[in-house]
Structure 1
Amino acid sequence: MHEFKLWAPRPNKVSVQICNQLHPMEGPDEHGMWHALVETCGPGDDYGFVLDDDPQAWPDPRSKWQPNGVHGLSRIYDQKAFHWRDQFWQGPPLTGAIIYEMHIGTFTKDGTFDSAITKLHELQALGVTHIEVMPVAAYAGDRGWGYDGVALFAVTENYGGPEALKRFVDACHDTGLAVLLDVVYNHFGPVGNYTGKYGPYVTNRHITPWGDAINFEEAGSDEVRRFFCDNALMWMRDFHFDGLRLDAVHEFMDRSALHFMEQLSAEVDVASATLGRRLVLIAESDLNDPRIVTPREARGYGMDAQWSDDFHHALFTILHCDEGGKGYYDDFGSLDKLVKSLKDIFVYDGVYSKYRKRRHGRPVIGLSAHHFIGFIQNHDQVGNRATGDRLEHIIGLDKAKVAAGIVLTSPFTPMIFQGEEFAASTPFQYFADHEDEEMAKLVSAGRKKEFAAFGWDDGLIPDPEDRETFLRSKLNWDEVHQDYHADMLDWFTKLIHIRRASPSLNDGDTAHTQIIFEPEDKWLVMERGQVKVLTNLGSKPAEFDVPSGYRLIAQSRPEVTIEGEKAKLPPNTFAILSSEEAPE
């Protein structure tokens, strides 16, 4: 027996087709809801909805399982059948987190949840506390980044389906790793989205980079908001995720008195109390608006953290100086911008942006830096480069080590991208598998045109639709303990363990971060409590004072020397001095 519920205000009659039989549904009620109780079906049975006089059976917008792809029938799935082993799991706090962003399809050669489990102990040894998994909701095609999901309640079969995802999360918790899931609530993918047949999930009153905006504020928006809130709660309740990362919240078009993010935050707090587990929400936003992470009680939206793009841009343009005329990087490129990001979080906090041609952002006041995620690589900043080249490919090993040092000693909550920890030789390129041939051609041509404008030879730009582009992006785990890859892994491991053991480096109060710098010689000293971070990105050696009681605890190159009260760093070198008591 199974009860079917469906929000479908658009059709005049609805039946559920199951086992080749049609069962008329009762409705709609005043909210557009339909119901049917079918005695002769249960988990494992395939079904679809027949709307009006269309003989086609369409998948359920809330389908929990799409075993035959997003165009096929839905399958009844029993969320309670899986045997969990994490009954006493309590995830670590986000304030002390080391986040590791992962794309399941390229993390291992097999590209599945089960194969990813085999590498969890390596992440544990590295010192990672949280894994952030790129989207896993079902999408059209057999490969992609995951941001074109259309069956948002179903797990893509490309990685193993719902049971495999539960095995992965359970194994993460067994290894001591919290798991966050990247979710996309700002658009549906262009292929396989059938929600429009049922109701007004999107609106043409607002336009996003992907087309019509999600309907968060107009007629029918109560049920649309319920759809996305229920989706978020499902991942945390039924799949035991410890939190979510919300993609591009600046594309949420919502003028409601109660913003969608505020509603979601409140409901997640209730779920956390009910489940007895710590649950978090992380936003991606380019608004530079601190209200995103301000508590609801202080009239904010209540997100626990957000990605800090200004910090990335400021750091990258100091490390790599050949980015002129390339969009938002034109707003950065000087050492004082990096210093401002470390001290004030937003570089653009109400000041004029050359790139945007207007003032942008507002100041962050009274918020811990732990509300902001700091990184030098992520899927966007690598994959959206023309050839998907990683940081070490662009600036070399020495500077990449400096970048890692700055990220992992910054006041922000640090995040690293898969393979960054061992300077992976493989790129991470943009890849997709659009089943519609015309769309595939448009995507491929658009990618070439986009980068041709920046002077790239279109013959060097990988074709997103070519399967080889996807295969090239898979990590090569055989290289991890070889040559410079092993050197970088040792460096990341050392930095992470230093950070996790240091009270000074775990202090999110930016008032306790003091910085002096020399823009001409490109050196910087960041003092965080009892830790002094020395950075020399100049072309000649630099000398720094070593206060009494401080000792050298990390250096990116062996040429760092301490003589008396002076530390000498060669170019492109990073070092940490500390007067904290050494951990036992």
Structure 2
Amino acid sequence: MTPSQPDFSPCRPRRVATDTIAWRVWAPRARRVELVLETGSVVMTAEGDGFFAAEISGIAAGDCYGYSLDGGPPRPDPCTLFQPEGVHRLSALVFPEDFVWRHDCPQINRSDLILYELHIGTFTDAGTFDAAIDRLDDLVDLGINAIEVMPVAQFPGTRGWGYDGVHPFATQHSYGGPEAFQRFIDAAHGRGIAVILDVVFNHLGPEGNYLNEFGPYFTNRYPTPWGPAFNFDGADSRPVRDWVLECVWQWIHDFRLDGLRLDAVHAIHDDSSPHLLAEINGLAHQAAAARGGRALMIAESLLNDVTMVRPVEEGGHGFDAEWNDDFHHAVAAWMTGERHAKYVDYGEEEKIATVFAETFYLDGRHSLYHGDAWGRPAGDLPGDRFIIALQDHDHIGNRARGERLAHQVDEAHLRLGACLTLLSPFLPMLFMGEEYGETNPFLFYCEFSDPHLIEGVRRGRKRDYGLRGEVPDPQAEETFRASRLSWNWQNVPARKRMRDLYRELILLRKEIPALRESGSVEAKLRLVSDSPILTVSRSGGLNAFFNLGNESISTDLFQVRGRVVWRSEAGVSDGKLCGFETLLAGSG
């Protein structure tokens, strides 16, 4: 197998001659499959093992089609790249290889990454890829070199987070569709920004999912919070696995994405060998090599389990990095004073120090939230294998009113949070608007068409979050509109100060090698004149001092050595550390 020959059985429509298209679909639950075109229907030939195929001439990109199973209504292609009229209607032919790329993929070392999570629908007022292109220069000016885009797989309606997508190959039509996504990726690459896509392979959304009519895509053996899990290890699971692998190849090879973030991998169940996650990661790197680049594969796991990032040959799944929520939980619980639900295990300053020193706080310790020992030690793994965030879509959006930290704490705490994030030994990720202290909420929103489903979502949100406040209607358009970024920072002094701080911190991280080195880190918390001081020692004699108290203290009391490299508050004498201030000192 060469780098350009993926090891899966493809089903996407493909050109076999200038005007001839080969069609293939896996539909073992059907005896007869018809390819439904705008000009009529064609009976497909059974290939065996549940596959059906046909070759048709005179078809062009943009033409619509579907599959009729045993005389039933036409259904979208399980491998559709575009649903111009939504999840229930016909698919449209798209050939991503037709796009003319102007820019190469940027080659950014993992330890140099500054990530920025964004949602296309609320990043701009227009909520499209093309509108987002117009904001890329703002991110360049900030210092961002990698974007993590929340899921763009086709979901019902025109507004949603993306985690209820039902067509993993397709690009959301209301964002502009696949070609617009390619333009966005190319524009980002032209500015030296890598693009990583959030993908969901643990479930499909509840509306517009027709896969069970085609074959045994799902299993009841492994329940998930969102419905049946995919059948990755049962009877007839090989075509299901290949379907996912083809999707991965498409995004990395054909769309030139620089990586994928896999949602909730703890809910991807597979008892076979090799594990599907290992196959996905291997194929992603193969796809990147075939187009002449690299891929960064990221896992979101709630397990605090470094198996995710261990090499496959050592029994791991081979991810390049994984999210570390313990950083957010420790810092946010301390800042806000919240102790409910997931924050019950956190809140004390000592736990922030533990995360800096040991990566996970829950590394086998007993968890009150989980009711058992939770997690495993990160051991010898460097910090650049873990992505941390002060805020992200989940930790904001899964609140009753979608409040950002700027709604919960004062400017001094926000500034300290920025310093803790960007001066940490981990890979930092910002959530859109965080850099200037955005106060517009990021709410949960959707646009389903099934009245029973709509009411079920409303009840679920009230049940899960209503005890802590009134829950905005997720189906209402105003809920979506309220979540858009204001981009109002140039003329608001506090917001401009915040953005200037983020820009300065990012520049520091880029200019001082010790801040990017992710090896051994020593972190100590001690009381100095009743103020908790977190000292984080990096290589080359560089030390970061974080004052977690609100009192100014003399730097003589905690042995600041070397020159002052940087401090977060201007106009302060070198002999003082203000309340909630950060100071870098040493050789740097």
Residue in 1 that maps onto 2:456:
442
Residue in 1 that maps onto 2:234:
218
Query: In the aligned structure 1, how far is the partner of 2:106 from the partner of 2:549?
Result: 45
Give the SS at the match of 1:62.
Answer: coil
Residue in 2 that maps onto 1:70:
87
Residues 1:558 and 2:566 aligned together: no
Counterparts of 1:13-24 in structure 2, within 5 Å, are: 13-24=32-43
Shift of 1:481: 4.3
Shift of 1:356: 0.9
Shift of 1:294: 0.8
Residue in 2 that maps onto 1:473:
483
One-letter amino acid of the counterpart of residue 526, structure 2: F
Counterparts of 1:107-506 in structure 2, within 5 Å, are: 107-321=123-337, 323-324=338-339, 326-454=340-468, 456=469, 458=470, 461-506=471-516
Does the CA contact (< 8 Å) of 1:91 and 1:177 recur in 2?
Answer: no
Residue in 1 that maps onto 2:17:
none
Query: In the aligned structure 1, how far is the partner of 2:586 from the partner of 2:407?
Result: 31
Give the SS at the match of 1:395.
Answer: coil
Query: In the aligned structure 2, how far is the partner of 1:214 from the partner of 1:96?
Result: 35
Query: In the aligned structure 1, how far is the partner of 2:560 from the partner of 2:582?
Result: 17
Residues 1:11 and 2:20 aligned together: no
- Give CA deviations for 1:519-556 in whole Å, capped at 9, x if unaligned: 9633212121232212122242233345443224132x
Shift of 1:320: 1.4
Residues 1:37 and 2:55 aligned together: yes
Residue in 2 that maps onto 1:96:
112
Residue in 2 that maps onto 1:541:
552
2:577 to 565, 569, 576: 569
- Give CA deviations for 1:336-361 in whole Å, capped at 9, x if unaligned: 21111111111111121111111111
One-letter amino acid of the counterpart of residue 39, structure 1: S
Q: Which moved more, 1:404-413 or 1:383-392?
A: 383-392
Query: In the aligned structure 1, how far is the partner of 2:526 from the partner of 2:499?
Result: 29
Query: In the aligned structure 2, how far is the partner of 1:266 from the partner of 1:526?
Result: 36
Does the CA contact (< 8 Å) of 2:170 and 2:178 recur in 1?
Answer: yes
Shift of 1:513: 3.0
Query: In the aligned structure 2, how far is the partner of 1:243 from the partner of 1:138?
Result: 19
- Give CA deviations for 1:360-384 in whole Å, capped at 9, x if unaligned: 1111122111000011100011111
Query: In the aligned structure 2, how far is the partner of 1:578 from the partner of 1:67?
Result: 58
Summarize the Cα distance change of 1:518–1:546 in structure 2 as closer, same or farther, 3 Å threshold: closer
One-letter amino acid of the counterpart of residue 6, structure 1: V
Query: In the aligned structure 1, how far is the partner of 2:48 from the partner of 2:344?
Result: 54
Shift of 1:453: 2.9
Residue in 2 that maps onto 1:79:
96
Q: Which contiguous aligned blocks of 4+ residues in structure 1 show a shift greater than 6 angstroms?
A: none
Query: In the aligned structure 2, how far is the partner of 1:452 from the partner of 1:10?
Result: 42
Residue in 1 that maps onto 2:527:
518
One-letter amino acid of the counterpart of residue 58, structure 2: T
Residue in 1 that maps onto 2:3:
none
Q: With structure 2 as the length reference, what TM-score do the two structures score? A: 0.93
- Give CA deviations for 1:196-236 in whole Å, capped at 9, x if unaligned: 11011110111000011111110121111111111111011
One-letter amino acid of the counterpart of residue 504, structure 1: A
One-letter amino acid of the counterpart of residue 579, structure 2: P
Give the SS at the match of 1:153.
Answer: strand
In the alignment, structure 2 segments of 5+ residues that lack a partner are: 1-19
In the alignment, structure 1 segments of 5+ residues that lack a partner are: none
Give the SS at the match of 2:344.
Answer: helix
- Give CA deviations for 1:230-283 in whole Å, capped at 9, x if unaligned: 111101111111000000001011111211111111112222222220111101
Does the CA contact (< 8 Å) of 1:527 and 1:533 recur in 2?
Answer: yes
- Give CA deviations for 1:418-457 in whole Å, capped at 9, x if unaligned: 0000111211111111111221122122212322334x2x
Residue in 2 that maps onto 1:61:
78
Shift of 1:559: 5.9
Shift of 1:577: 2.3
Q: How many residues align?
A: 565
Query: In the aligned structure 2, how far is the partner of 1:553 from the partner of 1:479?
Result: 24
Give the SS at the match of 1:58.
Answer: coil
Does the CA contact (< 8 Å) of 2:345 and 2:369 recur in 1?
Answer: yes
Does the CA contact (< 8 Å) of 2:561 and 2:585 recur in 1?
Answer: no
Query: In the aligned structure 1, how far is the partner of 2:170 from the partner of 2:572?
Result: 53
Query: In the aligned structure 2, how far is the partner of 1:524 from the partner of 1:542?
Result: 13
One-letter amino acid of the counterpart of residue 535, structure 1: F
Query: In the aligned structure 1, how far is the partner of 2:395 from the partner of 2:319?
Result: 23
Query: In the aligned structure 1, how far is the partner of 2:563 from the partner of 2:395?
Result: 36
- Give CA deviations for 1:497-537 in whole Å, capped at 9, x if unaligned: 0011111111111x233434339633212121232212122
Does the CA contact (< 8 Å) of 1:9 and 1:28 recur in 2?
Answer: no
One-letter amino acid of the counterpart of residue 570, structure 2: P
One-letter amino acid of the counterpart of residue 554, structure 1: R
Give the SS at the match of 2:362.
Answer: coil
Q: With structure 1 as the length reference, what TM-score do the two structures score? A: 0.94
- Give CA deviations for 1:154-189 in whole Å, capped at 9, x if unaligned: 111111111111110000001110100000111101
Does the CA contact (< 8 Å) of 1:523 and 1:542 recur in 2?
Answer: no
Query: In the aligned structure 1, how far is the partner of 2:66 from the partner of 2:394?
Result: 36
One-letter amino acid of the counterpart of residue 453, structure 2: M
Query: In the aligned structure 1, how far is the partner of 2:290 from the partner of 2:534?
Result: 47
Does the CA contact (< 8 Å) of 2:350 and 2:525 recur in 1?
Answer: no
Give the SS at the match of 1:154.
Answer: strand
- Give CA deviations for 1:302-343 in whole Å, capped at 9, x if unaligned: 00001101111111111111x22x212101111221111111
Residue in 1 that maps onto 2:11:
none
Give the SS at the match of 1:244.
Answer: strand
Query: In the aligned structure 2, how far is the partner of 1:554 from the partner of 1:256?
Result: 52
- Give CA deviations for 1:470-504 in whole Å, capped at 9, x if unaligned: 11111112434422111100000000000111111
Give the SS at the match of 2:395.
Answer: helix
Query: In the aligned structure 2, how far is the partner of 1:379 from the partner of 1:480?
Result: 24
One-letter amino acid of the counterpart of residue 439, structure 1: L
Query: In the aligned structure 2, how far is the partner of 1:548 from the partner of 1:337?
Result: 25
Shift of 1:28: 4.5
Give RMSD over aligned pairs.
Answer: 1.5
One-letter amino acid of the counterpart of residue 59, structure 1: P
Give the SS at the match of 1:505.
Answer: helix
Give the SS at the match of 1:347.
Answer: coil
